[in-house]
Amino acid sequence: MEELVILNRTAEKAKNLAETLKGLGAKVKAGTLSLDNLDEELPTTNILVNATSAGMYPNIENSPVPSGLLHSDLCVMDIIYKPLETKLLKDAKSAGAKVVSGLEMLLYQGAVAFEIWTNYPAPLEIMRKATLNELEKQGVYL
Ligand SMILES: NC(=O)c1ccc[n+]([C@@H]2O[C@H](COP(=O)([O-])OP(=O)(O)OC[C@H]3O[C@@H](n4cnc5c(N)ncnc54)[C@H](OP(=O)(O)O)[C@@H]3O)[C@@H](O)[C@H]2O)c1
């Protein structure tokens, strides 16, 4: 069974979330978002998701993960969409990893909501263009 590892700056919050997920049957462990823990976990990790705001505008030179720990067997998702290509995603690309930007989460949560409310398939490409136009209007670096 695959394991979920939740690392957060405030370890207490990660532990509370892990307890909730364990109650739903997930194999999960939690700890502090520290260099030691990243160093221990990342070599055997396949999917890395940044759900923190580290790297979000205006702190675009920040990343929650040192570039040297990223590798080509990773798929890295950053849920930040301002900017669309964060430092973490740039570093991940340079390390040969697959990358997924925060645009996808923004788009697909809207698509699911659209389908629940209308019972029609979501017009994903129209929604993608509209989202990108709106982000551009808001000055999001694309
Ligand atoms: N793509 C999407 O659809 C979508 C949807 C929602 C949010 N987002 C983005 O997701 C990000 C987080 O949003 P949120 O609403 O969850 O924010 P939030 O409630 O403020 O949570 C921020 C999280 O980031 C951690 N954090 C903040 N600064 C950090 C730093 N310098 N180093 C390490 N950890 C740090 C916090 O740790 P502590 O617990 O220790 O404070 C906390 O876990 C934002 O960039 C937001 O724009 C994207």
**CB 102 less than 6 A from any atom of ligand 1:** yes
Give the pLDDT confidence of 36-54 residue by residue, as tens digits: 999 999 999 999 999 999 9
d(CA 124, CA 22): 34
Residue whose CA is at the smallest distance from ligand 1 atom 23: 52
Residue 1: the pLDDT is 66
Best mutation site among 53, 60, 84 for ligand 1, i.e. most ligand atoms within 8 A of its Cβ?
Answer: 53
Give the pLDDT confidence of 84-126 residue by residue, as tens digits: 999 999 999 999 999 999 999 999 999 999 999 999 999 999 9
| pLDDT band for position 29 (cuts 50, 70, 90) | very high
| pLDDT band for position 140 (cuts 50, 70, 90) | confident
Give the pLDDT confidence of 42-85 residue by residue, as tens digits: 999 999 999 999 999 999 999 999 999 999 999 999 999 999 99
